[in-house]
Amino acid sequence: MDEWSIDLIIIVYENKIIARSHNQREMLLDPTAHAEMIAITQASAYLQNWRLSDTTIYV
């Protein structure tokens, strides 16, 4: 089975990087520790809002 993964996610708000992450599933032994989930959680904490309006996500 061919697999590919997203190795890095960066989230930008007002031209500033507010979150970045990489896959941490194996390191944390957590099947939900995907780069995008971790970065979204970081960005939400930074913005203190679950809506990530006016952000850009780079993969």
Q: Which of 3, 14, 26, 36 is catalytic?
A: 36
Annotation says 36 is catalytic: yes
CA dihedral 20, 25, 26, 28 (to 10 degrees): 80
Left, alpha or beta for 51 (phi > 0: left; psi -120 to 50: alpha)?
Answer: beta
Which residues belong to the active site? 36
